[in-house]
């Protein structure tokens, strides 16, 4: 069964991408947090500055928010542009099938 995608809701796509990007940031966040925590612990033992520990704390708080915001903005812009282009080109065709 052939169908055509002729319109995308910008707000719904923006929200969906915000959640996806927020979750993706957690995948990146954990390794970076562990790395900076180890660097900070080693630095504290050697008398170095605590900048890596402070940076990792800020990273943990703001990275998911920044990723989600950028995903939302990117999704809204992408849907807006797609809707304009779909009017000229007829949209994207795709095939679906019933699965039971």
Rounded CA-CA distance 3/89 in Å is 15
**12 Cα distance to chain centroid:** 15
**Residue 83 to residues 15, 70, 98: CA-CA distances in angstroms?**
17, 20, 27
pLDDT tens for the 100 residues of the chain, in order: 788 888 889 999 999 989 988 888 888 777 877 777 777 677 666 666 656 566 666 777 787 888 899 999 999 999 999 999 999 988 888 777 778 7
For the question of whether the overall pTM of this predicted structure is more than 0.85, the answer is no
């Amino acid at each position: 069964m052939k169908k055509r995608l002729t319109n995308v809701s910008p707000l719904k796509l923006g929200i969906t991408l915000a959640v996806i990007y927020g979750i993706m940031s957690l995948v990146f966040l954990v390794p970076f947090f562990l790395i900076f925590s180890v660097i900070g612990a080693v630095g504290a033992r050697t008398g170095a500055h605590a900048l890596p520990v402070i940076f990792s704390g800020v990273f943990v708080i703001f990275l998911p928010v920044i990723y989600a915001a950028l995903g939302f903005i990117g999704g809204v812009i992408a849907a807006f542009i797609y809707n304009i282009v779909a009017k000229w080109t007829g949209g994207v065709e795709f095939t679906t099938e019933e699965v039971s």
